């Protein structure tokens, strides 16, 4: 390789691209090699390359290697909002909700102002960790203190948080009180909450809303069809499947590779 031979040195943009490719192809070993290479480059260690180190941080988070992510994060000379948000999001996705909230507190102490993405990661941490009270406090702070207007992802995250905790009435009340009409992602989160807790009658009602909104995702329809099938309502399940075909909702095939050692 030219990097090893010393004939040329890849710049920061090239290294960011390589780290992105590592994630795309699931090669953690290549990513670790790039990490070692970066640490051997004095010019990359003296500061001014926060975007590059954030890309490395993001790679470890996406591989679920929080031990290395934390190590990189602690060693960052210049942390920015993206650095903090990447870590909060990583903790949220890897079952470390309490640590995510603690890190958010440290972020504020260090003088960083959270944005909508930071709050989305924080709400996700509360949802997956069962921190309902804390999640709603953060949601309120986002609106009232930081004057950030919630988007549909924030609303869907709150609904998901209530649903995971079994607070179905609170979830539905929250959707009813939204200042804007819920879209497919919000309704899907509500539908999934009823699915988890076996309330097929409520699924009926939410399902009709999903069908009539015109903003339903494939996941919404699939969830509705699966719910009907799970309670042996085969005719209703078939009707939803037929509707999927009629309106042209298609599933895009996807694939991923993860290196296994």
Q: Say how far apart CA 15 and CA 54 lie, in whole Å.
A: 12
Helix runs in the chain, H state only: 2-5, 12-25, 28-39, 42-45, 50-62, 66-75, 81-93, 97-109, 116-129, 132-144, 152-164, 168-176, 184-196, 200-213, 218-230, 234-247
pLDDT in tens, the chain (261 residues): 445 555 688 899 999 999 999 999 999 999 999 999 999 988 887 777 899 999 999 999 999 999 999 999 999 988 999 999 999 999 999 999 999 999 999 999 999 999 999 999 999 999 999 999 999 999 999 999 999 999 999 999 999 999 999 998 899 899 889 998 888 788 888 888 887 776 667 777 777 766 665 555 666 677 778 777 877 888 888 888 887 777 665 444 443 334 444
């Amino acid at each position: 390789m030219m990097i090893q031979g010393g004939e040329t040195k890849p710049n920061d943009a090239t290294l960011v691209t390589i780290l992105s490719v590592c994630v795309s192809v699931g090669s953690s070993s290549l990513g670790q090699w790039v990490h070692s290479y970066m640490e051997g480059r004095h010019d990359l260690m003296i500061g001014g390359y926060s975007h590059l180190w954030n890309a490395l941080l993001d790679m470890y988070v996406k591989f679920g290697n929080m031990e290395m992510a934390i190590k990189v994060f602690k060693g960052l000379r210049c942390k920015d909002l993206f650095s903090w948000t990447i870590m909060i999001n990583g903790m949220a996705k890897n079952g470390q909700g309490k640590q995510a909230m603690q890190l958010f507190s440290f972020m504020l102490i260090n003088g960083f102002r959270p944005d909508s993405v930071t709050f989305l990661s924080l709400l996700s941490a509360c949802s997956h960790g069962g921190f309902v009270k804390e999640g709603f406090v953060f949601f309120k702070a986002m609106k009232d203190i930081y004057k950030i207007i919630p988007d549909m992802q924030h609303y869907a995250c709150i609904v998901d948080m209530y649903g995971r905790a079994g607070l179905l009435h609170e979830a539905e009340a929250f959707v009813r009180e939204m200042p804007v009409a819920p879209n497919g992602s919000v309704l899907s989160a509500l539908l999934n909450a009823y699915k988890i807790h076996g309330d097929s009658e409520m699924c009926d009602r939410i399902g009709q809303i999903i069908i009539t909104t015109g903003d339903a995702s494939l996941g919404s329809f699939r969830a509705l069809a699966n719910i009907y099938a799970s309670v042996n309502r085969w005719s209703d399940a078939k009707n939803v499947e037929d509707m999927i075909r009629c309106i042209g909702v298609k599933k895009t095939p996807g694939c991923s590779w993860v290196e296994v050692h």
